[in-house]
Structure 1
Amino acid sequence: MNSTNSALSRRDQILREAARLFAERGFHGVGVDEIGAAVGISGPGLYRHFAGKDAMLAELLVGISGRLLTAGRRRVAEAAGPEQALNALIRGHIDFAIDDRPLITLHDRELDRLRESDRKLVRQLQRQYVEVWVGVVGAVHPDATEREVRTAVHAVFGLLNSTPHLGAQAVLASRAGMSELLRKLALGALGALDSAQDWRVTY
């Protein structure tokens, strides 16, 4: 039992350091030996946990897509209503955007390096995650069209996923302040749906 927990902990350490190094220097700019050194084991020792760098990258990107979807569905299921579900989704995605910035960078830069089957799986999981948001946002803003809802959802993702461009020190200096700023930006983007019907009538 203890050896299993230790192995899982080591595996998580490897993935965390691989994500950080890949994000900082690019997938091809990092060697297996460097990832091993970051977690205190030899490069060849990594092969007891992963077949290689490609496997690490796949697990990072497929893994985070799956976790976002699972957590999003859980938050919606546990919420008392659509507004509570939306607030929970926003809070959850903000936590991801602040705590897992390297994974956002990896997705933007390295997704095309995955083999086709893994890339398709990432896209499938992401589409399902979007649908969770679309369903909730549509329930909160029933007068908005589906196109408007989808546009607003993707705008929110763009805002929240901008954290890698802010710099680690800026984000970590005031995590609570950054979280509140991102929450206000997300609500502002979604709040535009309140006037969508008036805009369609007026113009």
Structure 2
Amino acid sequence: MSATHEPREDESEATNRPPTRRTQAKAARRAELLSAAARQMAERGFAGVRLEDIGRAVGVSGPAMYRHFSSKTELLDEMLIDISQRLHDGGSEVADRGGSPSETLVALIGFHIDVLVTRPDLITVQDRDLPSMTPAANHRVRLLQRRYVERWVDVLLVVTDEAGMALDRAEARVRVHAMFGLLNSSPRLPAFDQNGLRRLLTAMALAALRCEVPDQVGPGTS
């Protein structure tokens, strides 16, 4: 039987050591690059953007970009895995929070709209540029998306069952996908007051799901 590896004292210290200023600065710059990449790719598409363009937007020279990302595809992979994980984790937190099924459904819609309103560029890139990812990253994103959709389907089925509506899982899934198609097109809408947009999108999402919720948990209550 092989001996169990015990971490050396210096390894444990390295693991527990707080991040240095240099590490924090590098992480902050990496986040800036991801944000700049999302904006540019949303405007011009993955193929229309170069690493050098992204670096220039935040004051990073072309060669220095490769200290952060080895390729434009690596950057895209990280960007879309991150937003997919954020949607999955946030949706799960909302679904597990408690409350009535109708309240949960409206809260899920509100959560998704919050992401749309605050990071429309990421939603645009996610909708359009999945085929440009590496196969492994693409698989990871699609897995997270499927799990996110299924949380919505679970909630929708309870809401419709309580309303006395017969709905099977396949149709519920189609309704959820149709609703996402509607909501995810909102970054391309004309400029509109944010509060008004949230109310309008919530009402449209409920209509796409073909759900009626009590007035006290409806679109105008957030």
**CA separation in 2, counterparts of 1:15 and 1:187?**
33
1:87-139 Cα shifts (integer Å, max 9, x gaps)? 21101100112222222222233211111111111111110000000001111
**CA separation in 1, counterparts of 2:152 and 2:113?**
14
Larger relative helix fraction = 1
Larger radius of gyration: 2
**CA separation in 2, counterparts of 1:29 and 1:46?**
17
Residue 192 of structure 1: how far off its partner (Å): 4.8
Task: Give the match's secondary structure for 1:153.
Answer: helix
CA contact (8 A) 2:160 2:211 kept: no
TM-score normalized with structure 1 length: 0.86
1:173-200 Cα shifts (integer Å, max 9, x gaps)? 4111111110110122223589xxxxxx
**CA separation in 1, counterparts of 2:68 and 2:141?**
22
Instruction: Name the % identity.
Output: 43
Aligned pairs, number? 190
Q: Which residue of 1 aligns with 2:185?
A: 162
**One-letter identity of the residue aligned with 1:88:** A
Q: Which residue of 2 aligns with 1:76?
A: 95
**One-letter identity of the residue aligned with 1:147:** A
**CA separation in 1, counterparts of 2:95 and 2:173?**
18
Q: Which residue of 2 aligns with 1:150?
A: 173
Q: Which residue of 2 aligns with 1:34?
A: 53
Aligned-pair Cα RMSD in Å: 1.8
Q: Which residue of 1 aligns with 2:121?
A: 102
Task: Give the match's secondary structure for 1:40.
Answer: coil
Task: Give the match's secondary structure for 2:66.
Answer: helix
Q: Which residue of 1 aligns with 2:220?
A: none
CA contact (8 A) 1:148 1:193 kept: no
1:4 maps to 2:4: no
**One-letter identity of the residue aligned with 1:57:** L
Residue 23 of structure 1: how far off its partner (Å): 1.5
Of 27, 34, 58, which residue of structure 1 is paired with 2:77? 58
Of 142, 146, 158, which residue of structure 2 is paired with 1:123? 142
**CA separation in 2, counterparts of 1:38 and 1:79?**
43
CA contact (8 A) 2:105 2:156 kept: yes
CA contact (8 A) 1:149 1:193 kept: no
**One-letter identity of the residue aligned with 1:103:** L
Moved over 6 A (4+): none
1:88 maps to 2:111: no
Gaps of 5+ in 1: 195-203
CA contact (8 A) 2:77 2:137 kept: yes
**CA separation in 2, counterparts of 1:28 and 1:146?**
37
**One-letter identity of the residue aligned with 1:116:** P
Residue 80 of structure 1: how far off its partner (Å): 2.1
